[in-house]
Structure formats: structure tokens, C-alpha cells
């Protein structure tokens, strides 16, 4: 239970400093609290998204490398939501299938021309870029938290110190004493905004760097798989015939 002594210590500490913070400083701290909530939400959601993508990619890659024909998974009508590699595979196979069939109801041809395969490559490259952007979405908020939160905190501190010295100047002009006891509450309240800004920026910085590292891993994995998929398609279906 909270004792009177504990409550007194809290009042002397953070609660006392909060009471000394100006209205502007409190508004900045509230903005930082909202920014922190969004930053933590982004970190949690992106971490779960990348973890799920990694797990699904590993499962799909094992299935892909175990198939005898590049269309084996595609022809089964499998759907894997949230798997970046499957999205690349699905788009590439759909385009290659369209190039191999003169009409949807007809069977596939045995080969496609080099120009047709180049179009398939461009589709695969486009989907790789789209998947990378999808995984990257939301990181801009963390970047803003890392770079902007300390400056918001500094703004509140400078504003609070300015108000404190303004009050001291007015007291001196009125003939009152201006000592440390008169200045300390205002300065401590002003410094609270800097502390709040750092408490938002520091976790966001670690989360941002961790997510960027894993994003690069996923991007490299997407590029490598795209090259592997194109190589398999070329080996099985690339011919020297005229463009189809």
C-alpha cells in the first residue's frame, strides 16, 4: 500500500516537477506521449509482421524447392496470405502462364520467347519492389519519433526556461529577491520535456534499427528468390521461337 511517506516522495519527485511544468510544456509532453504510443504500436505490429513473413517464407521456400515443375504450386491454387515470396511466385507464374497460353481454355505451350520472358522478369521485379515497400510501410513514423521527439522536448525546455527567467526578471523589477529557490521549480519543470523527448526517441531508435536490419534481410531474400524463380522458368520454358 502507498504510505504517506511514499506519496510525499513522489510529490517531491516526478509529480512535483509535473506541477511546475508550464501549460505549453504539458501540451508538448502529451504530444510526446501520443507519439510514443504510436511508435510502440508500429514496432510491435511490424515485428510480428516480419516474424510471420520469415516463418511463411521458410515454409514456402522448402515447398518451392521440392516441386518438380515451376507451376506445381500455382496449379494447385494455393494461397498464402502474408508471405512475400509467395506473392512474387504467384505474380511471376500468372504472367508466364498467360504467355504460354494462346487462350485461357487452351493448354500451355512448351516454350516462350526471350522477349516474353523479359516481360515476366519485369513483373517479378515489380512485385519484389511492392513487397519491399509493404514491409517498409510504417517505419517513417519511427524515423520521425527518433529525429523529432528530442527536438520537441528541447522546445519545451527552452520555452520553460524562457518563462522562468522572464518571471525572475519581473520579480527583480518589482524589488523581490531572485535566488535559486525561486528558479529551481521552473527550470526542473522545463527539463521534464527533454526527459520525455528522450524517453520517446531512445526506444524508437533501437526499434527502428532492428526493423531496418530485418527489412534488409527480407529484401535480399526477395531478390535472391526472384533470381532463382526466373532461372527455373528459363530452364523449363525459355525457347528461341518468335515472341508469343
Q: Evaluate whether residue 13 is within a structural domain.
A: no
Please report the pLDDT score of residue 242 as a whole number: 44
Q: Evaluate whether residue 191 is within a structural domain.
A: yes
Please report the pLDDT score of residue 45 as a whole number: 92
Name the 3-class secondary structure at 162.
helix
Helix residue spans in 13-75 (DSSP H)? 14-20, 23-66, 72-75
CA 202 to chain centroid: 16
Q: Evaluate whether residue 17 is within a structural domain.
A: no
Q: Evaluate whether residue 103 is within a structural domain.
A: yes
Indicate the length of the chain as a whole number.
244
Rounded CA-CA distance 71/30 in Å is: 55
Q: Evaluate whether residue 166 is within a structural domain.
A: yes
Q: Evaluate whether residue 2 is within a structural domain.
A: no
Q: Pick from 54, 209, 216: which is nearest to 146 by CA?
A: 209
Please report the pLDDT score of residue 35 as a whole number: 92
Rounded CA-CA distance 237/117 in Å is: 9
Q: How would you class 83 by CB atoms within 10 Å of its CB: exposed for 0-12, middle for 13-18, buried for 19 or more?
A: buried
Rounded CA-CA distance 237/244 in Å is: 12
The b/e string for 157-178 (b: 16+ C-beta within 10 A; e otherwise) is bebbbebbeeebeeeeeeeeee
Question: Which range marks the domain in which residue 97 is found?
Answer: 22-237
pTM, rounded to two decimals:
0.77
Write the CB contacts of 130 (distance below 8 Å, at least 6 apart in sequence). 87
Q: Evaluate whether residue 92 is within a structural domain.
A: yes
User: Would you give the end-to-end CA distance of the chain in angstroms?
Assistant: 80
**pLDDT tens sequence for the chain (244 residues):** 445 555 455 455 666 666 666 778 788 889 999 999 999 999 999 999 999 999 999 999 999 888 888 989 988 888 888 899 999 999 999 999 988 887 777 788 888 888 889 999 999 999 999 999 998 888 888 999 999 999 988 888 888 777 777 766 666 666 666 665 556 666 777 788 888 899 999 999 999 999 999 999 999 999 999 999 999 999 888 865 444 4
Enter the DSSP assignment of 174. T
Cα-based torsion angle of the residue sequence 77, 83, 87, 88 in order, rounded to the nearest 10 degrees: -120
Write the CB contacts of 192 (distance below 8 Å, at least 6 apart in sequence). 17, 18, 21, 25, 29, 156
Please report the pLDDT score of residue 194 as a whole number: 86
Please report the pLDDT score of residue 175 as a whole number: 65
How many domains are contained in the chain? 1
Amino acid at each position: 500500500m502507498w504510505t504517506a511517506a511514499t506519496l510525499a516522495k513522489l510529490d517531491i519527485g516526478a509529480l512535483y516537477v509535473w506541477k511546475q511544468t508550464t501549460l505549453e510544456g504539458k501540451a508538448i509532453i502529451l504530444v510526446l506521449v501520443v507519439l510514443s504510443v504510436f511508435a510502440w504500436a508500429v514496432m510491435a505490429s511490424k515485428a510480428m509482421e516480419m516474424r510471420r513473413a520469415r516463418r511463411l517464407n521458410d515454409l514456402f521456400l522448402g515447398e518451392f524447392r521440392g516441386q518438380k515443375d515451376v507451376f506445381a504450386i500455382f496449379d494447385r491454387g494455393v494461397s498464402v496470405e502474408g508471405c512475400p515470396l509467395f506473392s512474387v511466385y504467384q505474380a511471376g507464374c500468372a504472367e508466364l502462364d498467360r504467355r504460354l497460353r494462346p487462350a485461357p481454355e487452351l493448354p500451355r505451350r512448351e516454350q516462350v520467347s526471350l522477349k516474353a520472358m523479359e516481360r515476366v522478369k519485369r513483373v517479378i521485379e515489380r512485385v519484389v519492389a511492392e513487397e519491399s515497400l509493404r514491409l517498409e510501410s510504417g517505419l517513417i513514423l519511427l524515423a520521425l519519433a527518433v529525429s523529432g521527439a528530442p527536438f520537441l522536448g528541447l522546445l519545451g525546455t527552452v520555452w520553460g526556461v524562457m518563462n522562468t527567467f522572464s518571471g525572475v526578471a519581473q520579480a527583480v523589477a518589482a524589488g523581490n529577491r531572485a535566488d535559486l529557490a525561486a528558479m529551481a521549480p521552473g527550470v526542473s519543470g522545463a527539463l521534464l520535456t527533454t526527459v520525455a523527448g528522450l524517453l520517446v526517441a531512445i526506444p524508437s531508435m533501437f526499434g527502428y534499427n532492428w526493423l531496418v536490419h530485418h527489412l534488409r534481410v527480407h529484401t535480399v531474400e526477395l531478390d535472391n528468390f526472384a533470381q532463382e524463380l526466373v532461372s527455373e522458368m528459363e530452364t523449363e520454358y525459355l525457347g528461341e521461337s518468335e515472341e508469343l
